[in-house]
């Protein structure tokens, strides 16, 4: 169940325009935001809408209880957090855990547990973490509990960030939930960010997704050095521009509505170390783990051994947050070990390298991480790595790279390489002033607006043509 995907023609031509018309006509009403958000979520499966409503009511009530309580505040917080975690554990992890128990029982000829066929609700990882941060921030005294159930429901269900993030904390929107304004400049900036995000998704991520998916679907004996490297390069571009694109697609309508959603990416592929990479990648998630897990565990304030333990714990849970499987657990372990190694001394060695070599180190580390993240099983990941190193069983005559690497893929990879060095979110375009004496500045403004319009047309053509448009967030 995918529902109204941001990069679908129904969202672009029906849902968003109607929402904005009704929203502005209503005087930017929270009721309109909430109703459209519930419709947006229910489109992916009306039977899952009660879950979102439960999260809204549960966290609204416990937010008030935590703030008003003079005693047993920790117990109330724990119960509130347990409700959020219960939904996440049931929908996302029960089937996986039961499957592992059944596998273990079969070794002793014991009857296996029944299979659980549980539909994973869209965005449950995002809005569960959002709710957890809300309750903890109230407990810490960082924010006041929202007294209006309508206002809180608007925050929880707001459709731009509901199913694919960024993970927006209540403190970041508290003032704008009560009063916000949208002028022509902010509206145009929101449109610009939205269009850039749509282009990142439809014109870069989607074209790279096709060869990536095809190559990762090959059997180990079909993998050659060239095809394996191509598949990993394509996926490296796809996942960044898909994640970053969807974040911008969410941030853009946020500005159109008068909400300031935080940036989620900051050119992660220009980083010079794994530590720096995680300061730039999926910022709302990495800072969430830092503030609500790493620092409470002690961060780096205790012994070195405890710091390594904290890093390992954070990234193991970060891996499992992405999905209930051994491959995501392995991905988390990989990054935990690498960051611990950099802290233990590898980082100083890397910093002593020539700058281009530091960049090569980071890109290789990231790509090997993406192999684990994208592979179906650990065995599959090893097969791809072996093929990249020339130790696979593939024959270039059996699987020629030309089958996947055409002119369009080559151009898209080149564009992706250049665009990954650019700011993840666009700068504002200065307003046109026909009285401006500088003809150069006026011409630049007109050219920028013409380019944005052309980008919109190309994106709509790409979406309308029915080109490959995968939705990778169903796993999260």
Active-site positions read 322
Distance CA 255, CA 281 (A): 22
Distinct helix (H) and strand (E) counts, the chain: 22, 0
Spell out the SS3 assignment of 164-229: CCCCCCHHHHHHHHHCCCCCHHHHHHHHHHHHHHHHHHHHHHHHHHHHHHHHHCCCHHHCCHHHHH
| Three-class SS state of 428 | coil
CA dihedral 25, 31, 35, 37 (to 10 degrees): 90
CB-based contacts of 230, cutoff 8 Å, min separation 6? 211, 215, 401, 404, 405
Residues 369 and 374: their CA atoms lie apart, in Å, by 9
Measured distance CA(323)–CA(474) in Å, rounded: 10
Question: How far lies 242's CA from each of 117, 315, 326, 350, in Å?
Answer: 28, 22, 23, 29
Strand (E) or helix (H) holding 236? helix 225-257
Spatial distance between the Cα atoms of 423 and 200, rounded to a whole number of angstroms: 12
Q: What share of the chain is helix, strand, coil (3-state, %, to 5)?
A: 70, 0, 30
Cα–Cα distance measured from residue 229 to residue 299, given in angstroms and rounded to the nearest whole number: 36
Residue with tokens 């372990």: 333
Of 370, 330, 362, the residue nearest 236 (C-alpha): 370
Give the three-state DSSP class for 243: helix
Instruction: Return the structure tokens found at 288.
Output: 């969430």
Tell the residue number behind the tokens 């988390």, with chain if given: 332
Query: How far is CA 237 from its chain centroid?
Result: 14
Backbone angles phi, psi at 88, to 5 degrees: -65, -45
- The DSSP annotation for 313-381 comes to HHHHHHHHHH-SSHHHHHHHHHHHHHHHHIIIIIHHHHHTS-HHHHHHHHHHHHHHHHHHHHSSSHHHH
Residue 427 three-state SS: coil
């Amino acid at each position: 169940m995918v529902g109204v995907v941001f990069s679908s023609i129904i969202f672009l031509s029906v849902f968003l325009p109607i929402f904005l018309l009704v929203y502005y006509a209503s005087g930017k009403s929270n009721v309109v935001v909430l109703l459209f958000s519930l419709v947006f979520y229910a489109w992916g499966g009306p039977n899952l809408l009660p879950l979102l409503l439960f999260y809204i009511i549960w966290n609204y009530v416990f937010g008030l209880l935590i703030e008003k309580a003079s005693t047993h505040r920790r117990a109330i917080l724990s119960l509130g957090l347990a409700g959020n975690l219960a939904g996440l554990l049931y929908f996302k992890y029960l089937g996986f855990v039961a499957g592992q128990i059944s596998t273990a029982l079969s070794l002793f000829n014991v009857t296996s547990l029944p299979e659980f066929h549980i539909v994973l609700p869209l965005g449950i990882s995002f809005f569960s973490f959002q709710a957890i941060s809300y309750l903890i921030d109230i407990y810490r005294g960082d924010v006041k509990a929202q007294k209006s159930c309508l206002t809180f429901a608007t925050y929880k269900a707001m459709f731009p960030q509901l199913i694919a993030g960024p993970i927006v904390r209540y403190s970041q929107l508290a003032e704008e939930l009560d009063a916000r304004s949208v002028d022509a400049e902010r509206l145009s900036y929101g449109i610009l960010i939205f269009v850039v995000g749509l282009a990142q998704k439809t014109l870069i991520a989607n074209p790279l997704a096709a060869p990536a998916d095809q190559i990762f679907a090959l059997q180990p004996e079909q993998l050659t050095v060239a095809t394996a490297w191509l598949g990993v390069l394509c996926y490296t571009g796809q996942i960044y521009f898909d994640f970053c694109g969807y974040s911008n697609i969410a941030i853009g309508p946020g500005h159109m509505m008068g909400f300031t959603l935080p940036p989620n990416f900051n050119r992660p592929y220009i980083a010079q170390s794994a530590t720096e990479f995680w300061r730039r990648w999926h910022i709302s998630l990495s800072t969430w783990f830092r503030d609500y897990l790493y620092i409470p565990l002690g961060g780096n304030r205790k012994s070195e051994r405890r710091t390594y333990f904290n890093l390992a714990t954070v990234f193991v849970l970060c891996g499992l947050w992405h999905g209930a499987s051994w491959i995501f657990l392995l991905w988390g372990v990989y990054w935990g070990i690498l960051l611990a190694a950099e802290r233990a001394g590898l980082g100083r060695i890397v910093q002593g390298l020539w700058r281009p070599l530091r960049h090569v180190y980071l890109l290789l580390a990231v790509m090997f991480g993406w192999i684990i993240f994208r592979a179906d099983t650990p065995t599959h990941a090893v097969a791809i790595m072996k093929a990249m190193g020339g130790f696979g069983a593939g024959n270039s005559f059996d699987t020629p790279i030309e089958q996947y690497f055409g002119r369009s893929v080559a151009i898209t990879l080149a564009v992706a390489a250049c665009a990954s060095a650019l700011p993840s979110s666009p700068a504002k375009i200065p307003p046109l002033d026909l009285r401006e004496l500088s003809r150069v500045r006026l011409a630049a403004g007109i050219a920028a607006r013409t380019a944005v319009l052309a980008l919109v047309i190309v994106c709509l053509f790409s979406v309308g043509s029915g080109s490959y448009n995968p939705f990778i967030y169903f796993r999260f």
